[in-house]
Structure 1
Amino acid sequence: MASHDERAPEIGFDDFLKVDIRVGTIVEAAPFPEARKPAIRLVIDFGEEIGRKKSSAQITVHYEPEDLVGRQVIAVVNFPPRQIGPMRSEVLTLGVPDEAGEVVLLGPGHTVPNGGRMF
């Protein structure tokens, strides 16, 4: 597996299609002190088909929970859940590192319907 800084191995388009990446709107955000690393507990609404899912995100450097509600984000919705402290994280919220390596969330440039699949 490639580190965050090195390029991942080439894959086929069919492999890419196996990853279900969707847009959702954060409807709840709260500090998550039980996590090993500083994190925020998110509840993200992915629309009628997928519903609301929980996610733990290590985004405390750039974001406060109260500023996240209503923000649209991009997440992988078909990975198996992961136990993070007392919570099962159901989706992987996506971000990219800033110059210091801290997470900046990915999201659409315009408001779009929840549940839209990335292509």
Structure 2
Amino acid sequence: MDNDSKKRDLCSLAVNKSVRWIFNQQIPNHRGGFENKNVYINAGDIYNNELLAYEDAIKRKDVNFLIERYSIRRTGVIEKITRKLNCPTRGFYETKIMALVRDDQDARNFVIECLDGLYESIYS
């Protein structure tokens, strides 16, 4: 998959999520009554804004934004990492990463920092 196809694919998935979220926010419910309601979502504008956000993140090399916003599994990066670590399978790669986090304090701290607030968001 070339870079342009990858960009379109990742942005399209992000737009799908955005459109679903916007639509879900506008669904009539028992609190507001169930009157007739038209829902208008301009997916084209959302997509164009998503392309700009993606291109900006690429220019800035904002890895955190890219990881948070787009499906990394669809980029092929996990397969590249697996090959660079000489892992024969994805399962072996996952085991190797878990061992790294367990044995390397810096790696563990990085993962914990990335998960900051997870406990509070789940249990509050």
Task: Looking at secondary structure, tell me which structure has more strand per residue.
Answer: 1
Which of 1 and 2 has higher RCO (CA within 8 Å, sep 6+)?
Answer: 1
Q: For the pair shown, which has the larger CA radius of gyration, 1 or 2?
A: 2
Structures share a fold, TM > 0.5? no
**TM-score category, normalised to shorter length:** under 0.3
TM-score by structure 2 length? 0.18
- State the TM-score, normalized to the length of structure 1: 0.18
Whose helix proportion is higher, 1 or 2? 2
